[in-house]
Chains A and B, each alone.
Chain A
C-alpha cells in the first residue's frame, strides 16, 4: 500500500522542520522525556550518527504525556504517536525517581534497497512500540534504564536497551546553569537477539532553566546532539 499524498506531504513537512530546526545534524531515536509537567509542552530533538528525530510532547497533568515524533535516516523515515504514563514517582528530600510505561504506533517508510531516493522505491509499514523506563536523579547523580520493543509488520521485532549514568561536578540551583557529564550505552538487536549493535556515547549536558542540550561523540565515531526545550 502506498501512502496517500496527504500523509507523504505531512511527513515531508515534519521531517523538513526537524532537519531545519537542528541544523541538519543527525540523530538516534532516544526518546528523552516521556512526561513533561502538568500542562507543559516540550520540544525535543535527538541526533546520533545518520539518524535525526524531533518530538513534541504535551502533558495535561504530571503523570501522562502525549507525543508526536518524526525520525529520519538515509534509509528510512517514520512518524510515531506516543502515549506515556508515569506509573510511579518517588519524591525524596534530595532525590526523585520515576517509572514510566509507554506505547507508540505509527508508520515507517523504508528504502527497499540502498538510500531513499524516490518515493516509488519505498516500502511502507506499520510500526508499534512499547517500552518501560526508570530514572532516578538527585543534584549530583543521574541514572536511566530503558527497555523497548519495536514491531514492524512484515518485519522482525527489534529490541533496544539503553542505560545512562550522569554526574554533575557541582550542585546547581534552579536559576543557575547546570553541567552534567553523561555516559550512554545503547544496544539494539534485530530478529530477536540474533544480531546486535552496541554503542557507547559520552555526552556533556548543559542545562539552564527550561532549556537543555547535550553534545557528544560515540566510541564508534558518531556525532550525537540532543536538545530539549520546555515551553513555559
Chain B
C-alpha cells in the first residue's frame, strides 16, 4: 500500500512539474546584438525588455554580445517585435535564436 502511494505521489510530482514548465515557459531566446559595450547599455536593454509582459529573466552578456531571456507560454514574442524593441532601445539586432524547453 505504502509503495503504491509513493508511486502515485512521484508520478503526480513529475506530471505536475512538466505541466508547470509547459504552462510557464515557452522559448529560451538568444539575441545577438551590436553596440553593447557597458553596464548602462545592459541596463537600458533590460529595462526595455522587462516592460514586455511575455518576457522574463533578461540577461545581457557583453562578452558574447548576447541578450537572452525567456518567454511565457501563450504570450510569445515574435522576432519582428524583438527586433523592434531592441532597435527602439538604440541597438542593432544581428540574429535571433530560440530553444524550446
Residue in A36, A86, A138, A232 whose beta carbon sits within 8 Å of that of B37 in the complex: A138
Q: A38-B48, A38-B88, A171-B63 in contact; A96/B43 too (CB < 8 A)?
A: no
Contact A174 B92 (CB under 8 A): no
* Distance of A213 from chain B, by nearest CB (Å): 13
Q: A61-B88, A62-B90, A173-B62 in contact; A37/B44 too (CB < 8 A)?
A: yes
**Chain A 85-117 interface residues, beta-carbon cutoff 8 Å to B:** 86, 89-96
CA distance A91 to B41 in the complex (A): 12
Instruction: Decide if the interface of chain B is mainly helix, strand, loop or mixed.
Output: mixed
Q: How large is the interface on B (under 10, 10 to 19, 20 to 34, 35 or more residues)?
A: 20 to 34
Residue in B38, B65, B92 whose beta carbon sits within 8 Å of that of A137 in the complex: B38
Q: A37-B89, A139-B62 in contact; A210/B40 too (CB < 8 A)?
A: yes
* Distance of A45 from chain B, by nearest CB (Å): 16
A63 is an interface residue with CB less than 8 A from chain B: yes
- Can you list, as one digit per residue, whether each of A161-187 has a CB less than 8 Å from chain B (1) or not (0)? 000000000011111001000000000
Pick 19 A–B contacts, CB within 8 A, sort by A. A37-B44, A38-B48, A39-B48, A40-B43, A62-B44, A62-B88, A62-B89, A91-B90, A93-B34, A95-B37, A137-B37, A171-B62, A172-B39, A173-B61, A174-B61, A175-B42, A178-B39, A208-B39, A209-B42
Q: Give residues in A with beta carbon < 8 Å to B.
A: 36-40, 61-63, 86, 89-96, 137-139, 171-175, 178, 207-210, 230, 232
